[in-house]
Amino acid sequence: MVNKEIALQFISSWKQNPQRLEPELVSFSNETNRKPDTFSYIVSAEGLVDPITGRLIKDVVDTKTALGRSEEAFLSKTERIISERDEGMVVWFSAPYFERYPCSKVIFYKIAYNWDGQKVTNNSAILFDATTEETLQMAMEVTGERFVDTETLREAAFYFQGSEPTTTRILELLSKQSGMEESAFSATATMSQTDRFASMIRAGKPTYEIAEEMWRTGFIGNYSISCLPTFSEHTVAFAAIAKLVEHCGRCGVRIAKYISRGYHCPNCGGTYEGC
């Protein structure tokens, strides 16, 4: 019920500033349901840019607190790596933080290019329940580096040229740690729900009515969310990472190629939902 009360506050704010309404709705739903969602940043000479507002990420995130300064250090390292590389992925491990982050996060920034040839990062964030020690251990198993405190880890940007093996390894560790199937980390909030609630908000429907419907339909989950906006909370998205698929999971026809979420089987029309 706490999240429904938070939704009431968010909806009132969104009615006043609807510019980022759809992505904010998706992020709110996914974070309260512990699901990843999709988003990207534009890579510019000045740094990473929010494609919706056109603002530099480093200009809109919290840098006044110790936590904010740790994340600012990570952002600076990530921007430098991404500006120097043409491919690959940066991975960020973020452990729980007292009275701010109730859970751990692993966040991916995969270098990509849009149809116009513009360099972007396809980002992804997966939230999971783990202690500080478990998060440090997971980071060590993935990177081979040992960390003794969370803030040193939080400031670290890990670059991997091959994104697929790293992604697979992290999903395996998350699955083992949580006891959930790897596929549980690939679901996202449905766009039909997002569009519906965005329309209700823009139409000026009563705030309580919208929040009640979000809760009733499961759009709002039971997991707590963090205060906004730190850098990791401004980042979303675990998508657009291709996987080698040998056969269609629906009809069994041979595919034998790297595909991403949204791929349609040429034989049966089934949609690939991600790994």
Clarify whether residues 257 and 151 are in a common domain: no
Q: What is the model's pLDDT at position 139?
A: 93
Integer Cα distance of 39 and 51 in angstroms: 9
Clarify whether residues 227 and 258 are in a common domain: no
Say if residue 95's pLDDT is above 70: yes
Q: Taking the model in full, what pTM does it have?
A: 0.59
Clarify whether residues 201 and 76 are in a common domain: yes
Coil vs helix vs strand at 36: coil
Q: Given pLDDT bands bounded at 50, 70 and 90, which one contains residue 153?
A: very high
Give the H/E segment covering residue 140.
Answer: helix 132-143
Closest CA to 227 of 17, 64, 35: 64
Integer Cα distance of 119 and 116 in angstroms: 9
8 Å CB contact between 158 and 142: yes
Q: Which residues, in sequence order, are CB contacts of 16 under 8 Å at separation 6+?
A: none
8 Å CB contact between 125 and 36: yes
Say if residue 274's pLDDT is above 70: no
Angle, to 10 degrees, between the axis of helix 132-143 and the axis of helix 163-178?
150
User: Which residues, in sequence order, are bridge partners of residue 259?
Assistant: 243
Clarify whether residues 157 and 21 are in a common domain: yes
Integer Cα distance of 244 and 201 in angstroms: 40
Q: What is the model's pLDDT at position 258?
A: 46
Number of domains present in the structure of the chain: 2
Angle, to 10 degrees, between the axis of helix 191-202 and the axis of helix 21-32?
130
Clarify whether residues 222 and 255 are in a common domain: no
Integer Cα distance of 159 and 167 in angstroms: 12
8 Å CB contact between 198 and 21: yes
Q: What is the model's pLDDT at position 182?
A: 56
Structure tokens at 267: 């034989």
Clarify whether residues 139 and 247 are in a common domain: no
Residue 126 sits in which domain range? 2-241
pLDDT tens figures, 102-117: 888 888 898 888 777 8
Q: Given pLDDT bands bounded at 50, 70 and 90, which one contains residue 241?
A: very low
Integer Cα distance of 237 and 260 in angstroms: 14
Clarify whether residues 237 and 247 are in a common domain: no
Coil vs helix vs strand at 146: coil
Clarify whether residues 89 and 176 are in a common domain: yes
CA 191 to chain centre: 16
Say what percent of the chain tops pLDDT 70.
Answer: 79
Clarify whether residues 22 and 91 are in a common domain: yes
- The count of other CB atoms within 10 Å of the CB of residue 64 is 8
Which alpha helices (DSSP H) does 35-118 contain, by range?
66-84
Q: What is the model's pLDDT at position 164?
A: 75
pLDDT tens figures, 14-61: 888 776 777 788 778 877 877 665 578 999 999 999 887 788 988 877
Clarify whether residues 124 and 234 are in a common domain: yes
Integer Cα distance of 259 and 272 in angstroms: 8
Cβ burial, residue 251 (10 Å; 0-12/13-18/19+): exposed
Clarify whether residues 56 and 146 are in a common domain: yes
Clarify whether residues 157 and 246 are in a common domain: no
Lowest mean pLDDT among 36-45, 87-96, 127-136: 36-45
